[in-house]
Structure 1
Amino acid sequence: MNKVDFLIVGSGIAGLSYALKLCEFYQKKNHHPKICLITKDEPFESNTRYAQGGIAAVIDADDSYEKHINDTLVAGSHINNEEVVKLVVENGPERIRELINWGAQFDKSDDGDYKLAKEGGHSDHRILHFKDVTGQEIQRALLDTIKKYDNVEILQDYYAVDLITQHHLGEDVTRYRKDTQCYGVYALNKLSGEVETILSKVTLLATGGIGQVYNTTTNPSVATGDGIAMTYRAKGIVEHMEFVQFHPTALYERGNHGNAFLITEAMRGAGAILKNSKGEDFVKRYDKRGSLAPRDIVARAIDSEMKKEGKDHVWLDASGINEKELKSHFPSIYKKCFDKGIDITKDLIPVAPASHYLCGGIVVNTKAETSINNLLACGECTCTGLHGANRLASNSLLEAAVYAHEAFETSLQLIDKTTWAEDIPEWNKDGTSVPEEMVLISQSRSDLQRVMSNYVGIVRSDERLARAFKRTGLIYEETEELYKKTVISQPLCELRNMITITYLIIGGAKNRHENIGLHYSIDYE
């Protein structure tokens, strides 16, 4: 049994920023609390790493908080929490200065000013970026900095299985109980195969998104909604799961399912235009902003155009962008496409929407507190109220950085009032055995992804949702039977979490009787 002061689940911008703030604060006091960060893969593998476009903030003198706030509200169909939007936008520049102090690099012009890009839904140029690998650069800087602190233990290949609450002490825990407490997590040590107990005074979930519940996603393989599913099982509050953002422009590769290569929205901000097979700038028929309309509008326009033409993709034309700028600003995209036989300086890029970002999740207040005591959360796994019905481009890294700071400040208030729980039982694996057929797990995962992509994608209907709910129910029953008799494994736990996520998405969609933001049903046209 491992006892730590602060436990962090997830190694992206949210978790690492939080850890660094704790380290810096306590170093000044010459105090070194035990900080443990667990990650189910290697620390560099997170949703943050794959963020291409950048991080939005009011940096330019001609820009304003009011404009950024309004852009965020418009993109979110005005069901955002305005207090949260104000909090994130106004605190954004300071959080970015911290990232820079930790070593993150952002592109500058020859005169030393930051190059600010413009993306869909933004009224001004306010996106800081490092070429087209901004997330990767931020991740690098944070990991390099965290290594300087000896009191941070990073447990690689540790998979969080469940949150520990009073439930594990034999008490009845419900969603309406106000004193539910998080004592830490049970975590699978993937190398030993044993489930270990990690007790903590304060636990932070920074587990990222849910993209893997769909057939095609821009998310890495680790994005299986673990933090959200664990919180829901622990009777925490989860909301707005129906708002799944599909990025309009993922590179289309025939026959490829699974992880899709993102073509950043910044390319459209630089002048690239979406076209159909006839070469028409078709998005303008759906919105006067054309290719730079918010993502929900552009994704639905592409979906509609593909169905009209009977095609699997549309085209992105970047030939109007200066060749030098194209190669210098988007080097990873240029190389990826060139390796596929596409010269983006003159050839059209085949693109199609792919699952990208979840706007709902674990409900947190402005202090990053969940409905479970001593359990904090930040990043994509949360529902802060910032995004409303649709996320404005490049607001995600910003939200993670701002809420990591709020979680840090909250933790300082919690830590001295909390101690470790007593009498927590070890993980019980009695009656389980190693599964003879892992194919059962992989087939169920594939079936689940297919159901979600076919029935709960960009466009939905009551009948599609009903079918999805019925088919998901069958997969759930089969998986629970397998779980009861099988030794814990990451694939099995991920499947269970993905089933929970699909249930929450479908349930949210069934209860949303209007077309707003990312939720669109043909029954409410």
Structure 2
Amino acid sequence: MQRYDVLIIGAGLAAASLALSLPSRLRIALLAKKPYEESASYWAQGGIAAVNGADDSLDAHVQDTLISGAGLCDEATVRYVVENGPAAIDWLIEAGVPFDRENSGYHLGREGGHSHRRIFHAADATGRVVQTTLRARLKAAPNISLLDQRIAIDLITGHKLGLEDNRVYGVYALNMDSGHVETLSAGHTVLATGGAGKVFLYTSNPDTATGDGIAMGWRAGCRVANLEFIQFHPTCLYHPHAKSFLITEAMRGEGAVLRLPDGSRFMPEYDERAELAPRDIVARAIDSEMKKRGLDCVYLDITHQPAKFIISHFPTIYERCKELGIDITREWIPVAPAAHYTCGGIVVDHQGRTDLVNLYAIGETACTGLHGANRLASNSLLECVVYGRAAAADIAQSQPAPERALPVWDESRVTDADEEIVIAHNWHELRRFMWDYVGIVRTNRRLERAAHRIQLLREEIDEYYSNFRVSNDLIELRNLVQTADLIVRSATRRHESRGLHCSRDYPDLLPQAAPTVLEPPPR
């Protein structure tokens, strides 16, 4: 058994912000399935939203967030995050993050839903630059261990140990290099595993986004909220060789427009803000045009800008498209919507505390109340830093879980899997029907069909899990099916169309906005 003061499950910006904000006296471990380059934080292009400038204000950022959240944001949380935004940016700058500068200050971008330019960025590779900078600091810290190639299986709770408390004592994790399950004990455990975009067939997320933290938290006894609100990014590159490649919203902020194959624009017909409308509106508009006209994609056109401007502002996109034979300085970019961000998650307070003692959830895994029914662009990385630092401050002064001798993982009654094809088939079936039935536009019938198929898959997977040794694919599939079930249950409960949840059976907006909170079964 390995013992740590703080065990952080995840390797994105929330995890890094937390680890680097904790006192150096604490022994910390970051547990990650893959290297940090395969986190959603690393892939983030646009930037981090925070007020900076005489023409902007905290109130304006608050209002933009509330409007985007379609009445479902927790206003106190929104103000808390926005007010801590400038300090979060200062912390990143002090850590060495080289945001793009302009004249005597910083170059601020503008994205959909923002009334002002307030997006701190590093060209179009903000996530990569931030993560690389912080990773170097993590590796240099003598009290921090970076445990890659490990996937958490389940939290070790007082309930599982036969105790009466609702405390978390650590986690079981599969070491993918050795093939053995490790027992990790911790004074404080943090879920920072990201979202669940891989539950859908088409997503901008890395392969690691399998809802692990949400599923583990739920199984351990945490409430989850607002999981029906899955943000579909309007503009992912549509190309057979461009897996999960995002075309940042910042491009539309610099004047790019959406066009049909004949060159005509369509966004002004859907919203007066046109291409700068919030993501849910743009994604539904694209989805509507594609279905109405039988299109595989639409096109994003930024060719009105000088080539030098495009290459300097969007070098990553320029190079990737060039590799695929698309010169974005002269040609339109084929794009289509894809699952991008999980707005709901494990219910937490302003310190990232969950319903279980000594368990925290931060980043996309958590539901803080900031995003409501639709996340405002570039608020997610801000939330990672603000809540990572807040959780660190709380952990530093909180009583840790007492050290206990935890039971080792029991493999005495299982064997090696004989047919891995079962996992592969179930994985594809889940992602296909979730895309078809629980995508951008939903109906009661589609949700019912999804729920039925999820139940059949759960029975198969539970039997498989009970009889065979765990593997990375099996653990991820188990978590994806659990998260899919929570998404469908949440969507079924919402009898209206609000933000990212669009129902043909309930097209109207209810007069009172209320979160969807699911309570775990009694233990």
Distance 1:359 1:238 in 2: 11
- Residue 58 of structure 2 corresponds to residue 58 of structure 1: no
Whether the 8 Å contact between 1:71 and 1:122 is mirrored in structure 2 is yes
Q: 2:7 aligns to what? A: 7
Q: 1:221 aligns to what? A: 207
Q: 2:421 aligns to what? A: 439
> How many angstroms does 1:419 deviate by?
4.2
Whether the 8 Å contact between 2:5 and 2:400 is mirrored in structure 1 is no
The residue type paired with residue 426 of structure 1 is V
- Residue 182 of structure 2 corresponds to residue 182 of structure 1: no
Whether the 8 Å contact between 1:207 and 1:227 is mirrored in structure 2 is yes
Distance 2:221 2:20 in 1: 30
- Residue 63 of structure 2 corresponds to residue 81 of structure 1: no
> How many angstroms does 1:52 deviate by?
0.3
- Residue 143 of structure 2 corresponds to residue 151 of structure 1: yes
Whether the 8 Å contact between 2:97 and 2:130 is mirrored in structure 1 is yes
Distance 1:4 1:343 in 2: 50
The residue type paired with residue 8 of structure 2 is I
- Between the aligned residues of both structures, percent identity stands at 50
The residue type paired with residue 174 of structure 2 is L
- Secondary structure at the residue paired with 1:167? coil
Q: 2:516 aligns to what? A: none
- Residue 302 of structure 2 corresponds to residue 318 of structure 1: yes
Distance 2:307 2:130 in 1: 26
- Secondary structure at the residue paired with 2:105? coil
Taking structure 2 as the reference length, the TM-score comes to 0.95
1:194-237 deviation per Cα after TM superposition (whole angstroms, max 9, x unaligned): 11111111111111111111111111011101001000000111
Whether the 8 Å contact between 2:229 and 2:343 is mirrored in structure 1 is yes
Moved over 4 A (4+): none
Whether the 8 Å contact between 1:168 and 1:424 is mirrored in structure 2 is no
> How many angstroms does 1:306 deviate by?
0.4
Whether the 8 Å contact between 2:150 and 2:174 is mirrored in structure 1 is yes
Distance 1:42 1:307 in 2: 38
Whether the 8 Å contact between 1:168 and 1:425 is mirrored in structure 2 is no
- Residue 34 of structure 2 corresponds to residue 41 of structure 1: yes
Distance 2:211 2:15 in 1: 15
Q: 2:281 aligns to what? A: 297
- Residue 511 of structure 2 corresponds to residue 518 of structure 1: no
Distance 1:378 1:90 in 2: 18
> How many angstroms does 1:322 deviate by?
2.4
1:342 is aligned, of 320, 326, 337, to 326
Q: 1:246 aligns to what? A: 232
> How many angstroms does 1:263 deviate by?
0.3
Q: 1:426 aligns to what? A: 408
1:90-148 deviation per Cα after TM superposition (whole angstroms, max 9, x unaligned): 10111111111111111112x23111011000000000111110000000010011122
Whether the 8 Å contact between 2:21 and 2:393 is mirrored in structure 1 is no
Distance 1:419 1:462 in 2: 44
Q: 1:93 aligns to what? A: 86
> How many angstroms does 1:348 deviate by?
1.0
Distance 1:181 1:458 in 2: 38
Q: 2:221 aligns to what? A: 235
> How many angstroms does 1:171 deviate by?
5.0
The residue type paired with residue 182 of structure 1 is V
Distance 2:361 2:401 in 1: 20
Q: 1:485 aligns to what? A: 467
Distance 2:83 2:401 in 1: 35
- Secondary structure at the residue paired with 1:264? coil
> How many angstroms does 1:45 deviate by?
2.2
Q: 2:182 aligns to what? A: 196
The residue type paired with residue 294 of structure 2 is G
- Secondary structure at the residue paired with 2:173? strand
Whether the 8 Å contact between 2:210 and 2:480 is mirrored in structure 1 is yes
Structure 1: gaps spanning 5 or more residues: 27-31, 173-178
Show the 5 A alignment for 1:344-423: 344-414=328-398, 417-423=399-405
1:140-192 deviation per Cα after TM superposition (whole angstroms, max 9, x unaligned): 010011122111111111111100102321358xxxxxx41110111111111
Whether the 8 Å contact between 2:38 and 2:207 is mirrored in structure 1 is no
- Residue 268 of structure 2 corresponds to residue 284 of structure 1: yes
Q: 1:29 aligns to what? A: none
- Secondary structure at the residue paired with 1:496? helix
Distance 2:159 2:476 in 1: 21
Taking structure 1 as the reference length, the TM-score comes to 0.95
Q: 1:327 aligns to what? A: 311
Distance 1:280 1:67 in 2: 33
2:293 is aligned, of 304, 309, 317, to 309
The residue type paired with residue 315 of structure 1 is Y
Distance 1:196 1:21 in 2: 27
Whether the 8 Å contact between 1:252 and 1:260 is mirrored in structure 2 is no
Distance 2:389 2:400 in 1: 20
- Secondary structure at the residue paired with 2:186? strand
1:476 is aligned, of 458, 464, 476, to 458
Whether the 8 Å contact between 1:19 and 1:35 is mirrored in structure 2 is yes
- Residue 16 of structure 2 corresponds to residue 16 of structure 1: yes
- Secondary structure at the residue paired with 1:169? coil
Structure 2: gaps spanning 5 or more residues: 508-523
Q: 1:208 aligns to what? A: 194
Q: 1:162 aligns to what? A: 154
Distance 2:404 2:106 in 1: 52
Q: 1:126 aligns to what? A: 118
Whether the 8 Å contact between 2:30 and 2:144 is mirrored in structure 1 is yes
- Secondary structure at the residue paired with 1:147? helix
Is 475-484 or 417-426 further displaced after alignment?
417-426
Whether the 8 Å contact between 1:209 and 1:381 is mirrored in structure 2 is yes
Q: 2:511 aligns to what? A: none
Distance 2:420 2:96 in 1: 43
Whether the 8 Å contact between 1:199 and 1:420 is mirrored in structure 2 is no
- Secondary structure at the residue paired with 1:523? coil
- Secondary structure at the residue paired with 1:7? strand
The residue type paired with residue 137 of structure 1 is V
The residue type paired with residue 13 of structure 1 is L
RMSD: 1.2
